[in-house]
Chains A and B, each alone.
Chain A
Amino acid sequence: MARITAGVTTSHVPAIGAAIDLGKTKEPYWAPVFAGYDYAKQWIAEQKPDVILLVYNDHATSFSLDMVPTFAIGCAAEFQPADEGWGPRPVPVVRGHPELASHIAQSVIQDNFDLTVVNRLDVDHGLTVPLSLMFGQPQEWPCRVIPFAVNVVLYPPPSGRRCYELGQALRRAVDSFDQDLKVQVWGTGGMSHQLQGPRAGLINQAFDKEFLDRIVNEPEALSRVPHIDYVREAGSEGIELVMWLIMRGALDEKVIEKHRFYHVPASNTAVGHLVLENPQPG
């Protein structure tokens, strides 16, 4: 049977991708950011997941205003790195897991979460930067990846509560898949940041640190935080953090925190990163 073994959260700042692609990771500005991922790189090399269910958002790349699905699951065999206006990132093609993805779609829709099924999807920095942070620069990504896109661009995004409960439905879907697979769920985006208007540059370290504590230890209560609190406290783009709750809902109620990292700034953004494991069964 397939099982969810662990969860990872990370910011997905585009400038981090550019720093990797342009060989700037050792520069004084960037070195502390990448050092925060040393643990996770080693950890994931040992974990060897078969599939990552990667929760992210598209940034006006594959979804323009022509179509804005709230939740979309990528069911294709392959996803190309997107050209976001300056050529695609030099990263491997993302290989999907169509059997598991279509199983999840069918299970989760019957569980009252109306996903949009997507078979043609170029993936932008929201998905590829987390892969680069965790795996470095391999010739091929070492596992399959199912893109799970959440609208956080057009307000309102789904509520934290909805995201948390969707995570629980994803858990049930994975648990009922017959193949023997180790699956990780990643929640990406955040932490506090605002990219627009005279309030641009907002960072709220107190909010972020409390969020890191609560997503580990009291996700149920955290999932009830309303949108306005994210906007006011964590900035208009900080609302991406609701995506972390999908990851958390897919894990056990009690998890083992293996690693935590927090850093300000990466470009305009506070970087937050967690590695969480489900306790081993038995």
Chain B
Amino acid sequence: MALHKPYADVPGTTIFDAEQARIGYHLNQFCMSLMKAENRQRFKADQRAYLDEWPMSEEQKQAVLDRDYNRMIALGGNIYFLAKIFSSDGLSFQFAAATMTGMTQEEYAKMMLSGGRSPEGNRYKGEK
């Protein structure tokens, strides 16, 4: 019997569950490797070559090269692991969060200052 996933109908949200963790294992472990300065340097020097050292799917590698965080999450990435990529790029959590929402960082920061994204209309897929 399939596991019940009541969180599947939460809009704009991917829960990092056991299945996502299985799909994203190598992607996330690649991210962990960027905690070491020498690995960050090698990654920055030749991103493609560094990624090719990991048994990741071509889609996962392309999503990293594109810095497409929503895509990386769909392919099993977890935000705390992906944080190693944008930190290596010298970018903040707020920058990364903004890119995933399609807003500029300025627009996103303004939304947060005025109390954040309301839960109204954001609880269920298809909700108005």
Residue A232 CB within 8 A of the other chain: yes
Contact A236–B83 (Cβ < 8 Å)? no
Segment from A73-81, A173-181, A195-203, A209-217 that makes contact with B: A195-203
Contact B79–A232 (Cβ < 8 Å)? no
Q: A60-B28, A205-B115, A231-B15 are in contact. Are A198 and B84 (CB under 8 A)?
A: no
Contact B84–A15 (Cβ < 8 Å)? no
Contact B116–A201 (Cβ < 8 Å)? yes
Select one of B35, B100, B111 contacting A85, CB under 8 A: B35
Contact B87–A200 (Cβ < 8 Å)? no
Q: Which residues of A contact B102 (CB under 8 A)?
A: 198
Residue B29 CB within 8 A of the other chain: yes
* Residue on A nearest B73 in the bound complex, by CB: A196
The 6 closest A-B pairs by CB, nearest first: A203-B116, A199-B12, A198-B12, A60-B80, A200-B97, A201-B117
Residue A22 CB within 8 A of the other chain: no
> Which residues of B108-122 have CB atoms within 8 Å of chain A's CB atoms?
108, 111-113, 115-119, 122
Residue A128 CB within 8 A of the other chain: no
Interface string of A140-183 (1 = CB under 8 A from B): 00000000000001111000000000000000000000000000
Contact A65–B112 (Cβ < 8 Å)? no
Q: Which residues of A contact B57 (CB under 8 A)?
A: none
* Residue on A nearest B86 in the bound complex, by CB: A85
Residue A188 CB within 8 A of the other chain: no
* Residue on A nearest B31 in the bound complex, by CB: A60
- Docked complex Cα distance between A203 and B108 (Å): 13
Quote the shortest CB–CB distance from B99 to chain A (angstroms): 9
Given A84-B35, A85-B40, A156-B17, 12 additional A-B pairs, CB 8 A: A65-B32, A85-B84, A153-B16, A154-B17, A154-B21, A155-B16, A155-B18, A200-B12, A202-B116, A236-B15, A264-B115, A268-B112
- Docked complex Cα distance between A64 and B29 (Å): 7
Contact A199–B117 (Cβ < 8 Å)? yes
Contact A195–B97 (Cβ < 8 Å)? yes
* A-B CB pair tally, cutoff 8 Å: 145
- Docked complex Cα distance between A205 and B112 (Å): 12
Q: Which residues of B contact A9 (CB under 8 A)?
A: none
Contact B10–A196 (Cβ < 8 Å)? no
Contact B29–A268 (Cβ < 8 Å)? no
Q: Which residues of A contact B (CB under 8 A)?
A: 14-15, 59-61, 64-66, 83-86, 153-156, 192, 194-205, 207, 227-228, 231-233, 236-237, 264-265, 267-268, 270
Q: Which residues of B contact A65 (CB under 8 A)?
A: 21, 25, 28-29, 32, 81
Contact B117–A202 (Cβ < 8 Å)? yes
Interface core residue of B96, B97, B102, B113 (most chain A CB under 10 Å): B97
> Which residues of B1-31 have CB atoms within 8 Å of chain A's CB atoms?
6-7, 10-18, 21, 25, 28-29, 31
- What are 11 contact pairs spanning A and B, CB under 8 A? A60-B32, A60-B78, A66-B29, A85-B88, A154-B21, A195-B97, A197-B100, A199-B117, A200-B100, A200-B117, A232-B124
- Docked complex Cα distance between A125 and B7 (Å): 28
Q: A15-B93, A228-B6 are in contact. Are A203 and B117 (CB under 8 A)?
A: yes
* Residue on A nearest B96 in the bound complex, by CB: A195
- Docked complex Cα distance between A207 and B118 (Å): 11
Select one of A14, A153, A200, A264 contacting B78, CB under 8 A: A153
Contact A196–B117 (Cβ < 8 Å)? no
* Residue on A nearest B116 in the bound complex, by CB: A203
- Docked complex Cα distance between A224 and B19 (Å): 26
Residue B94 CB within 8 A of the other chain: yes
